[in-house]
């Protein structure tokens, strides 16, 4: 269950596995439209391994979905989400 994902201890795993876990968790959160939590998971993953996050097709898909759903404030999307979207190539 998605509620169990944050309690899974992955600290003993290699960074790549930790990041994969966070990406999968973010994808699940995004499917449930919990975009703020998904964004935080992706930002945590990016801190652990920027290269994996920035070149991941799965991350691009999740970020693109979140970006489409994100409300605009003053005609602009969330600057944090937009910055991640640009870094991973989800938007141009």
In sequence order, the 6+-apart residues with CB closer than 8 A to the CB of 28 are 2, 5
* Amino acid 1: pLDDT: 63
* Amino acid 74: pLDDT: 58
* Amino acid 49: pLDDT: 96
- Take residue 15 and report the two structure tokens written for it: 């960074």
Residue-by-residue pLDDT tens, the chain, 92 positions: 667 666 777 788 889 999 999 999 999 999 999 999 999 999 999 999 999 999 999 999 999 999 988 877 655 667 899 999 999 999 87
Q: Which residue has the tokens 């391994």?
A: 49
Architecture of 2-88 per CATH? Alpha Horseshoe (1.25)
Q: What is the CB-side half-sphere exposure of residue 47 using CA atoms within 13 A? A: 6
Q: What is the pTM of this model?
A: 0.85
Domain ranges of the chain: 2-88
């Amino acid at each position: 269950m998605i509620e169990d994902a944050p309690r899974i201890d992955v600290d003993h795993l290699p960074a790549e596995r930790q990041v994969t876990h966070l990406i999968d968790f973010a994808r699940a959160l995004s499917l449930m439209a919990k975009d703020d939590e998904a964004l935080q998971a992706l930002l945590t993953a990016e801190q652990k391994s920027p290269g994996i996050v920035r070149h991941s097709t799965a991350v691009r898909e999740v970020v693109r979905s979140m970006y489409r759903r994100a409300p605009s404030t003053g005609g602009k999307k969330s600057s944090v989400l937009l910055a991640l979207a640009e870094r991973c190539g989800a938007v141009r």
